Chains A and B, each alone.
Chain A
Amino acid sequence: MATPDNPRDTNAVAEAVIDEEHKGFPVIWLLPLVAVLVGAWLIYKTVSETGPSITISFETAEGIQAGKTRIKYRDVEVGKVDSVNFSDDISRILLKVVMNPGTKDFLTDQTRFWVVKPRIGAGGVSGLGTLVSGAYIAMEPSQEGKPAEKFIGLEKPPVVTADVEGTSYQLRAKKLGSVSIGAPVYFRQFDVGEITEYRLSDDHSHVDIGFFVRAPHDQYIREGTRFWNAGGVNLTLSATGMQLEMESIVSLLTGGIAFETLPKHADSPAAQAGTVFTLYDNHGDILEDPITIAHTFITRYSGSVRGLAPGAPVEFRGIRLGTVKSIEIGYDPEHEGVTIPIVLIDLEPERLQNFALVDKAVSAVEIQEETLRETVKRVAYAVREKGMRARLQTGNLITGALYVDLEFFPDADPASLVMDGEYPEIPTLPNPLEGILIGFNKIIDKLEAARLEDTLSNLNELMASTNELVGTLGQNAPALASELQATIEEAHATLSSIRAMASTDGEIGNELYNALVEITAAARSIRVMSEYLERHPEALIKGKGNP
């Protein structure tokens, strides 16, 4: 530092006051520190508040606008479509979506997205509001599953959204029937759920149908609950008559299923979600327990089996015991070379309560074997001792459907169960119509059996004696004839004399004629008198007088 070299100058300049030194931490350095902290905090806050960015792919971008289309959950905006792009192979549309902060936990591989736009579907009209507001993408959040950033949007809104409480189950059906997605599930004709999906099983052997039952109705789905196809109209014509079933008008259009828990299954445990049930064809089918044990018997009929179909009932005094299994044609054991209808029937012992043989056996197989043995034993006894016979009966006069009737005929010819074939054979009787014909035949037989020839000889004798009688009559005839001739001639004479008398020329006739003339004159004079009296009634008293 240079020192002042001119004292004059120094004198002219005032001395500055020397202050106390106060050394300390340079506070100014806190400023960049604070700035860095504030900047870092601002950026962290913004970044943390930025929601996750996800990609949703759709088949088309109909109604979707980049920067405008919203993602909504329960009508609250949770995100926005940032850009719309093609996938690499341009087969799909990729929507880049910026979600709101805090939605990350709800974006898992279970989360579903779909475009909400006006739709007319089975369940009615939906999404009308989007006519004005434009389409939006609805989100169904899910906290289950793994976090995801790429989603495949649903082309159709899901039938059941996650916010509806309830349970999903599966159905297995032989055919789809009238089931459609969104079709109702009925319980006591009350709409309690929807069909959510259907697809062919992997091996195409049946149809898998998914359905959803809303709480609290799902508690009525028991393991023993039966489901049947309630869609459309079910018209059944069978030996039991005509049945028409219809669940509701909606189900007529969209199809649907219904369920019912039979009282005997009411105590079965509640079904777990995803339980697979069997879909029955109609309500009637669910009433019958599934048949697991059946023993096949063979019956042969001499008459026609037209009207009998597989599945027709086998009844004993109106109680169903089994089912017609098949109708074939086979050799008649009684007549060489003749074929007759053979009907295989299944007797189902489970239909009878007293066939429960659970006590006797241990395993299911044993129960089954024991039951079948018992069945054959009882049938054999019934045939042998009670005269049980199978016959075809007309179940329905209109359709002519037949069923197999088992009945006791104590008077029938003794027979027993034929055990030598593949199946035991139950002896048969012709059906009642045939029976009538046979009755006629029997009458004729009896007529034949009566001693008709004797009668004829008697008749001959009668005729002969009659002839004799006629012969004697012939011998006396000429005398009789001449007498008759005389009688006739006399009668003729009498009649002619009577005629002569009766004519006007005859005595009687002339007299009669004169009498009539007199009567006529009398009548005239009476008329004249009565006319005069009418004019001159006084003449009765005064007499005629002079005119």
Chain B
Amino acid sequence: MRAIDRSLASCHTCGLLLQLTPGKHTSCPRCGDAVHLRKTNSIRNTWALLLAAIAMYLPANVLPIMTVTSLGNTQSDTIMSGVIYFLKHGDWPLALVIFTASVLVPLLKMLALTYLLLSVQRKSPLRKNQRTRLYRITELVGRWSMVDVFVVALMAALVQVGELATIQPAMGAVAFASVVILTMLAAMAFDPRLIWDNHGVHDGNT
């Protein structure tokens, strides 16, 4: 038995349990906030945000995220060039952290969301528990990708020593921040209950 089966939902704001009319836009009579059985247009919104994130992922990795000007030498670094730099200098743990947080995690996040969306749309009955866990991890881990953006922001603010050294954020940082924010929004737009809705169909008939 699910709340949706009875068209019951509690208000997201004030928690009042409401009897909804299916197929209609409804709002809470007490606080006036909109009430939905599921997040509205969850799959559509998630897809849109996810696609936007994917679109920004390419420039985020190709473009330099910061420009270091030191003693007249200008050097632009992309995320991967930074990883390679640390790897070459033997700082492989640092390289691993940056690679994981900045390259792998956003990528896996997008793959995970894609998988979740496709599986929900195909009404896949398989591995619902795992998929739910995947969603939780996705939502939890997403924000840590912002580390890179923070590093760039802090460095750009701190290292302004004129001719000696100047760090400026480059367009790659903007793109990368967009990727992280868009994936976070996409994860938020996704309604994990959709994973179990099919379950209900199967179970409901039994």
Write the residues of chain A forming the contact surface with B, with a CB cutoff of 8 angstroms: 1-2, 4, 9-10, 13-22, 26, 28-29, 31-32, 34-36, 38-39, 42-43, 45-46, 68
Contact = CB atoms under 8 A, between A and B. Distances in A.
A39 B6 contact: no
Interface of B: 5-9, 16-22, 24-30, 34-35, 41, 44-45, 48-49, 51-53, 55-56, 58-59, 62-64, 73, 171, 174-175, 178, 182, 204
Contact of B21 (A10, A16, A45): A16
Contact of A45 (B22, B171, B204): B171
**Ranked 3 nearest A-B pairs via Cβ:** A35-B52, A32-B51, A16-B26
Given A13-B17, A14-B19, A46 B25 contact: no
Contact of B17 (A4, A14, A17): A14
A13 B19 contact: yes
B25 A19 contact: yes
Given A18-B24, A39-B58, A46-B171, A13 B18 contact: yes
Given A15-B18, A36-B52, 4 more contacts: A9-B6, A20-B25, A35-B55, A46-B171
A14 B48 contact: no
A39 B45 CA distance: 20
Contacts of A26: 41, 44, 48
B19 A10 contact: yes
Contacts of A68: 73
A316 B32 CA distance: 130
A22 B21 CA distance: 16
B62 A46 contact: yes
Contact of A43 (B35, B49, B58): B58
B26 A28 contact: no
B55 A16 contact: no
B79 to A, nearest CB: 14
Contact of A29 (B48, B55, B73, B182): B48
A21 B44 contact: no
A28 B41 contact: yes
Contacts of B204: 2
27 contacts: A2-B204, A4-B6, A4-B7, A10-B19, A14-B16, A14-B18, A14-B30, A15-B29, A16-B9, A16-B27, A16-B35, A17-B26, A18-B26, A21-B25, A26-B48, A28-B44, A35-B51, A35-B53, A35-B56, A36-B51, A36-B52, A38-B59, A42-B63, A43-B58, A43-B63, A46-B59, A68-B73
Contacts of A4: 6-7, 19
A32 B52 contact: yes
Nearest to B62: A43
A39 B52 CA distance: 9
Nearest to A1: B22
A15 B27 CA distance: 9
Nearest to B35: A16
Contacts of B19: 4, 10, 13-16
A46 B52 CA distance: 20
Among the interface residues B18, B59, B63, B73, which one has the most CB atoms of the partner chain A within 10 A?
B59
A19 B24 contact: yes
A179 B112 CA distance: 77
A31 B62 contact: no
Contacts of A20: 25
Given A19-B25, A26-B44, A31-B49, A36 B59 contact: no
A47 B18 CA distance: 56
Nearest to B7: A1
